[in-house]
Structure 1
Amino acid sequence: MIETKPFKIIRAIVLSLLTLWVIVPLYVVFSTSVKPLSDVSGVFRWIPERITFEPYLDIWQTVPLGRYFVNSLIITVTATICSVVLAILAAYAISRLDFRGKRAFSLTVLSTQMLPGILFLLPLFLIFTQIRNVTGIQLQGSLGGLILTYLTFTLPFAIWMLTGYFASIPRALEEAAMIDGTSRLGALWRVVLPVAKPGIVAVAVYSFIAAWGEVLFASVLANESTKTLALGLRAYASETDVFWNQLMAASVVVSLPVLIGFMLVQKHLVAGLSAGAVK
């Protein structure tokens, strides 16, 4: 298809507007984070009159951000690892094995993505309460409870995505390995997983991002000692004051782990997301 000049101009305008739509909010966040609080309270100025990095130091004193950071890291990393490991086993079974209830299980996994997350909030709360009453195990307000909760929405998507990716890998590869004496699990570990690395990375990134920025479940199931970073950002706003510069600085700090991780695995992520459309 030969692109005409008007088409190129329209495309350039649309792409420029979309780029501004993304960049302008990021610029507002960063520029606000390097302003004194007195300069933030008035009319917003695109170019800061005074630049200070004190908000990046004050955020650790105003709010126990370090503790929230550790909580988020433990919850997110554990939920991501569990989600990827369980999704690999379930997706491989669905794509390679024939068993009773396979279709029903696949449809159940897919159907969970059609419902909003808030529908699961009350049932999870009641389940955790019942577990506490029967066994004495306190899941509500614990890191383990949040990890189990995050698996409810990261694991189904991970299974669904990896199932399609494993199905695109030729069975001849692992069959050849099994003929040479490797077990099915050995073929999965030595043959399938290296080929599926881009898809696994894509699933891991999705699980990490979904758990890192989750607010709804954490706001109900977490307590003061297990608060995550997403909840901790609220602490910069009280009934009378809002520390906008510190809030924006904390937002930048919270975004850095996801940004750095995305940059490190960008190549594998793009390959994993696009592989299912071309294989």
Structure 2
Amino acid sequence: MSIRSRLRKLFRRPARPLVTVLRLSGVIGAGVGPMRGGLCMESTAESIERAFAPDELKAVALVINSPGGSPVQSALIGNRIRALSVEKKVPVVAFVEDVAASGGYWLACAADEIIADAGSVVGSIGVISAGFGFQDLIAKLGVERRVYTAGRNKAMLDPFRPEREEDVERLKSLQLEIHQNFIDWVKSRRGDKLRADDDTLFTGEFWTGKRGLDLGLVDALGDVRTVMRARYGEKVRLALVETRKPWLARRFGLSGSSLGAEVASAVVSAAGERSLWGRYGL
């Protein structure tokens, strides 16, 4: 090593502490298309990897703003975050913005700590399924519904046929299984931090961040910049890791018919997403 190199090494300024910031915003679901935002394993896998990639990383901060969605995609994303945290030996801190409810709270539980704003919405540890029944409408319109299946329950809960009690019971049994998975995940991640019984926490109810602190659903109140600077110093570097954003048909690369179908699908999807956000007054 030359004298110049030795001097540079000797007088080199110490590196600023680095914290990567990964934003997880939107409804969680597998159907993320070119005109729709949202979260799924496909859209977040690369950004999660990049969040854990830097050397000498102090922590990964998850900034969460999600009303929930698919339990499967929530689990896939949460498991990937946990696996990399253990592999890289890097702590993860979740920061709740407006809402981390249902699947959004599932994502928050992937972190070692959960920090929320006092007015954030947290919780909603439950499972919901909603739809409409159109059998009376099509009868008034004089429309005959024709369904042909191989398998007695293949057309279960068809919205254009009268609801059957056995179908509802089957759906409820599935919901109970998924709900129990959710409960097990929260208990495994939060452990003794939870300060309320199951009848309070796991009913699907949601609370403000301030009340969530009392219940043990969150660990502290604050925001990512304030907390990270207090923890790692004023010179901490917060590096935002961008998630993949929706693209508009690859700069209109879809055919007219494909683009029209995507627009129609996006409109229907947006209505469903609007109802999810609306549950929390957002």
TM-score in terms of structure 1 length: 0.23
Q: Give the structure, 1 or 2, with the largest relative contact order (CA under 8 Å, sep 6 or more).
A: 1
